Amino acid sequence: MKLLFSSQTYGPLDPQAVRSQRAAIMHAAKHAGVVWMGDCSPDRQAFAVARNRTADAAVNMEECEGVFWCDSDVVLPVDAISRLVSHQKDFVTGIYFQREPPHWPLIATFNEKAKSFNWLVQWPENALAPIDGCGFGCVFTSTRLLRALAPPWFEYKQFSEDFTFCRNAAEAGYQLWVDTGVLCGHLPDPEPVTFDTFKNAHPEFYARGEGGPHVSV
Protein backbone atom coordinates (compact mmCIF):
# COMPACT_ATOMS: atom_id res chain seq x y z
CA MET A 1 0.00 0.00 0.00
CA LYS A 2 1.34 3.43 -0.98
CA LEU A 3 0.82 6.04 1.73
CA LEU A 4 1.57 9.61 2.66
CA PHE A 5 2.55 10.47 6.22
CA SER A 6 1.24 13.65 7.79
CA SER A 7 1.86 14.99 11.28
CA GLN A 8 0.46 18.45 11.95
CA THR A 9 3.13 20.44 13.78
CA TYR A 10 3.55 23.87 15.26
CA GLY A 11 7.11 24.59 16.19
CA PRO A 12 9.59 22.31 17.99
CA LEU A 13 8.84 18.58 17.96
CA ASP A 14 8.84 16.36 21.03
CA PRO A 15 11.65 13.80 20.71
CA GLN A 16 9.61 11.02 22.36
CA ALA A 17 6.75 11.44 19.89
CA VAL A 18 9.10 11.69 16.91
CA ARG A 19 10.97 8.51 17.88
CA SER A 20 7.75 6.57 18.25
CA GLN A 21 6.35 7.81 14.95
CA ARG A 22 9.52 7.01 13.01
CA ALA A 23 9.64 3.54 14.54
CA ALA A 24 6.01 2.97 13.49
CA ILE A 25 6.80 4.21 9.96
CA MET A 26 9.69 1.75 9.65
CA HIS A 27 7.64 -1.11 11.13
CA ALA A 28 4.88 -0.53 8.56
CA ALA A 29 7.40 -0.57 5.72
CA LYS A 30 9.01 -3.78 6.94
CA HIS A 31 5.99 -5.74 8.18
CA ALA A 32 2.87 -4.35 6.47
CA GLY A 33 4.06 -3.75 2.93
CA VAL A 34 3.68 0.02 3.17
CA VAL A 35 5.55 2.06 0.57
CA TRP A 36 5.90 5.62 1.76
CA MET A 37 5.22 8.21 -0.94
CA GLY A 38 6.46 11.07 1.20
CA ASP A 39 6.10 13.08 4.39
CA CYS A 40 3.80 16.03 3.77
CA SER A 41 3.58 17.24 7.36
CA PRO A 42 2.55 20.91 7.40
CA ASP A 43 4.16 23.23 9.96
CA ARG A 44 2.82 26.29 11.76
CA GLN A 45 -0.63 26.23 10.18
CA ALA A 46 -4.10 26.04 11.69
CA PHE A 47 -5.30 22.45 11.99
CA ALA A 48 -8.00 22.67 9.32
CA VAL A 49 -5.65 24.41 6.87
CA ALA A 50 -2.88 21.89 7.51
CA ARG A 51 -5.11 18.86 7.15
CA ASN A 52 -6.69 20.21 3.97
CA ARG A 53 -3.24 20.67 2.42
CA THR A 54 -2.46 17.03 3.16
CA ALA A 55 -5.79 15.82 1.76
CA ASP A 56 -5.28 17.88 -1.39
CA ALA A 57 -1.80 16.43 -1.88
CA ALA A 58 -3.13 12.89 -1.47
CA VAL A 59 -6.03 13.15 -3.93
CA ASN A 60 -3.77 14.74 -6.54
CA MET A 61 -1.08 12.06 -6.23
CA GLU A 62 -2.17 9.37 -8.66
CA GLU A 63 -0.48 6.42 -6.97
CA CYS A 64 -1.28 7.41 -3.38
CA GLU A 65 -3.66 4.94 -1.73
CA GLY A 66 -4.05 6.57 1.65
CA VAL A 67 -2.80 8.86 4.39
CA PHE A 68 -1.62 8.08 7.88
CA TRP A 69 -2.42 11.08 10.06
CA CYS A 70 -0.99 11.75 13.49
CA ASP A 71 -0.42 14.70 15.75
CA SER A 72 3.03 15.83 16.78
CA ASP A 73 2.27 15.20 20.48
CA VAL A 74 1.03 11.61 20.06
CA VAL A 75 3.22 8.65 21.04
CA LEU A 76 2.50 5.68 18.76
CA PRO A 77 2.86 1.96 19.50
CA VAL A 78 5.47 0.56 17.14
CA ASP A 79 2.86 -1.49 15.25
CA ALA A 80 0.20 1.26 15.12
CA ILE A 81 0.36 1.97 11.39
CA SER A 82 0.80 -1.69 10.50
CA ARG A 83 -2.34 -2.62 12.41
CA LEU A 84 -4.50 0.16 11.02
CA VAL A 85 -3.70 -0.59 7.39
CA SER A 86 -4.02 -4.36 7.88
CA HIS A 87 -7.80 -4.10 8.30
CA GLN A 88 -8.25 -2.95 4.70
CA LYS A 89 -10.87 -0.37 5.67
CA ASP A 90 -11.26 3.16 4.39
CA PHE A 91 -11.05 4.70 7.87
CA VAL A 92 -9.45 3.22 10.99
CA THR A 93 -8.26 5.00 14.11
CA GLY A 94 -6.33 4.09 17.21
CA ILE A 95 -7.22 5.45 20.65
CA TYR A 96 -5.62 8.33 22.47
CA PHE A 97 -6.85 10.40 25.40
CA GLN A 98 -7.37 14.03 26.31
CA ARG A 99 -4.31 15.49 27.98
CA GLU A 100 -6.30 17.26 30.68
CA PRO A 101 -8.73 15.66 33.15
CA PRO A 102 -11.12 13.93 32.75
CA HIS A 103 -8.92 12.36 30.02
CA TRP A 104 -11.77 11.16 27.81
CA PRO A 105 -10.78 8.79 24.98
CA LEU A 106 -11.07 10.63 21.68
CA ILE A 107 -13.46 8.16 20.06
CA ALA A 108 -17.20 8.69 19.97
CA THR A 109 -20.63 7.61 18.83
CA PHE A 110 -23.14 10.03 17.32
CA ASN A 111 -26.57 10.67 18.80
CA GLU A 112 -28.83 11.42 15.84
CA LYS A 113 -31.64 12.78 18.01
CA ALA A 114 -29.44 15.19 19.96
CA LYS A 115 -27.09 15.82 17.01
CA SER A 116 -24.11 15.42 19.30
CA PHE A 117 -21.18 13.09 19.86
CA ASN A 118 -20.80 10.92 22.96
CA TRP A 119 -17.41 9.73 24.14
CA LEU A 120 -16.99 5.96 24.27
CA VAL A 121 -15.67 4.98 27.69
CA GLN A 122 -15.67 1.20 27.23
CA TRP A 123 -14.85 -1.00 24.26
CA PRO A 124 -14.06 -4.62 23.39
CA GLU A 125 -10.43 -5.46 24.04
CA ASN A 126 -8.05 -5.73 21.09
CA ALA A 127 -10.83 -5.63 18.49
CA LEU A 128 -11.99 -3.76 15.40
CA ALA A 129 -15.16 -1.90 16.37
CA PRO A 130 -17.45 0.64 14.65
CA ILE A 131 -17.46 4.26 15.78
CA ASP A 132 -18.89 7.54 14.50
CA GLY A 133 -16.15 10.04 15.25
CA CYS A 134 -12.64 10.53 16.59
CA GLY A 135 -9.74 12.89 16.89
CA PHE A 136 -7.12 12.67 14.14
CA GLY A 137 -4.12 11.92 16.33
CA CYS A 138 -3.70 8.37 14.95
CA VAL A 139 -5.83 7.72 11.86
CA PHE A 140 -5.59 5.95 8.52
CA THR A 141 -7.83 7.16 5.69
CA SER A 142 -7.92 5.78 2.18
CA THR A 143 -7.51 8.14 -0.75
CA ARG A 144 -10.76 6.66 -2.06
CA LEU A 145 -12.56 8.15 0.94
CA LEU A 146 -10.90 11.54 0.48
CA ARG A 147 -11.89 11.60 -3.19
CA ALA A 148 -15.49 10.76 -2.26
CA LEU A 149 -15.78 13.93 -0.16
CA ALA A 150 -15.94 17.47 -1.48
CA PRO A 151 -13.26 19.91 -0.30
CA PRO A 152 -12.68 21.47 2.08
CA TRP A 153 -12.38 18.14 3.84
CA PHE A 154 -11.72 19.72 7.23
CA GLU A 155 -13.54 22.76 8.57
CA TYR A 156 -14.95 24.07 11.80
CA LYS A 157 -18.74 24.01 11.87
CA GLN A 158 -20.80 22.60 14.74
CA PHE A 159 -17.82 20.40 15.61
CA SER A 160 -14.04 20.63 15.37
CA GLU A 161 -12.43 20.02 12.00
CA ASP A 162 -11.70 16.34 12.65
CA PHE A 163 -15.19 15.49 13.89
CA THR A 164 -16.71 17.44 10.99
CA PHE A 165 -14.71 15.20 8.64
CA CYS A 166 -16.08 12.15 10.45
CA ARG A 167 -19.67 13.34 10.05
CA ASN A 168 -19.14 14.02 6.36
CA ALA A 169 -17.61 10.58 5.85
CA ALA A 170 -20.50 8.89 7.63
CA GLU A 171 -23.06 10.86 5.63
CA ALA A 172 -21.27 9.75 2.45
CA GLY A 173 -21.87 6.14 3.49
CA TYR A 174 -18.48 5.25 4.98
CA GLN A 175 -18.20 3.30 8.22
CA LEU A 176 -15.52 4.48 10.64
CA TRP A 177 -13.62 1.92 12.70
CA VAL A 178 -11.36 1.82 15.75
CA ASP A 179 -8.68 -0.76 16.44
CA THR A 180 -8.89 -0.93 20.23
CA GLY A 181 -5.50 -2.62 20.41
CA VAL A 182 -3.77 0.55 19.20
CA LEU A 183 -3.48 2.55 22.43
CA CYS A 184 -1.44 5.73 22.09
CA GLY A 185 0.06 8.21 24.49
CA HIS A 186 -0.78 11.93 24.42
CA LEU A 187 2.10 14.10 25.57
CA PRO A 188 1.89 16.80 28.14
CA ASP A 189 5.02 17.46 30.17
CA PRO A 190 6.72 15.26 31.29
CA GLU A 191 4.76 11.98 30.81
CA PRO A 192 2.14 10.99 28.21
CA VAL A 193 -1.50 10.45 29.12
CA THR A 194 -2.29 6.78 28.44
CA PHE A 195 -5.06 4.22 28.84
CA ASP A 196 -3.79 3.60 32.37
CA THR A 197 -4.19 7.31 33.12
CA PHE A 198 -7.82 7.13 31.99
CA LYS A 199 -8.56 3.94 33.93
CA ASN A 200 -7.02 5.34 37.10
CA ALA A 201 -9.12 8.49 36.72
CA HIS A 202 -12.34 6.53 36.13
CA PRO A 203 -12.42 3.25 38.06
CA GLU A 204 -16.22 3.37 37.91
CA PHE A 205 -16.17 2.48 34.22
CA TYR A 206 -14.10 -0.65 34.81
CA ALA A 207 -15.67 -1.97 38.02
CA ARG A 208 -18.95 -3.14 36.50
CA GLY A 209 -17.86 -4.91 33.33
CA GLU A 210 -19.61 -3.98 30.10
CA GLY A 211 -22.18 -1.26 29.65
CA GLY A 212 -20.55 1.84 31.06
CA PRO A 213 -22.15 5.22 30.36
CA HIS A 214 -21.55 7.53 27.45
CA VAL A 215 -20.59 11.12 28.14
CA SER A 216 -21.78 13.93 25.87
CA VAL A 217 -19.13 15.96 24.07
pTM of the predicted structure, to 2 decimals = 0.93
Amino acid letter, 105: P
Domain range for 144: 2-188
Domain assignment present for residue 212? The answer is no
Q: Give the count of domains, the chain.
A: 1
Domain assignment present for residue 206? The answer is no
Residue percentage of the chain with pLDDT more than 70: 94
Domain assignment present for residue 172? The answer is yes
Whichever domain contains 100, its CATH number is 3.90.550.40
Domain assignment present for residue 82? The answer is yes
Per-chain mean pLDDT for the chain: 93
Q: What Cα–Cα distance (Å) separates residue 168 from each residue in 60, 154, 159? A: 20, 9, 11
pLDDT of residue 67 exceeding 50: yes
- Report the C-alpha gap between 108 and 161 in whole angstroms: 15
Strands across the sheet containing 2-8: 35-39, 2-8, 66-71, 138-142, 91-95, 176-183, 128-131
Domain assignment present for residue 57? The answer is yes
- Report the C-alpha gap between 96 and 135 in whole angstroms: 8
3-state secondary structure the chain: CEEEEEEEECCCCCHHHHHHHHHHHHHHHHHCCCEEEEECCCECCCHHHHHHHHHHHHHCCCCCCEEEEEECCEECCCCHHHHHHHCCCCEEEEECECCCCCCCECEEEEECCCCEEEECCCCCCCCEEEECEECCCEEEEEHHHHHHCCCCCCCCCCCCHHHHHHHHHHHCCCCEEEEEEEECEECCCCCCECHHHHHHHCHHHHCCCCCCCCEEC
CA 103 to chain centroid, in Å, comes to 16
Domain assignment present for residue 108? The answer is yes
Domain assignment present for residue 183? The answer is yes
pLDDT of residue 213 exceeding 70: no
Tens-digit pLDDT profile for residues 164-174: 999 999 999 99
| pLDDT score, position 207 | 61
| pLDDT score, position 210 | 47
pLDDT of residue 212 exceeding 60: no
Domain assignment present for residue 210? The answer is no
pLDDT of residue 215 exceeding 50: no
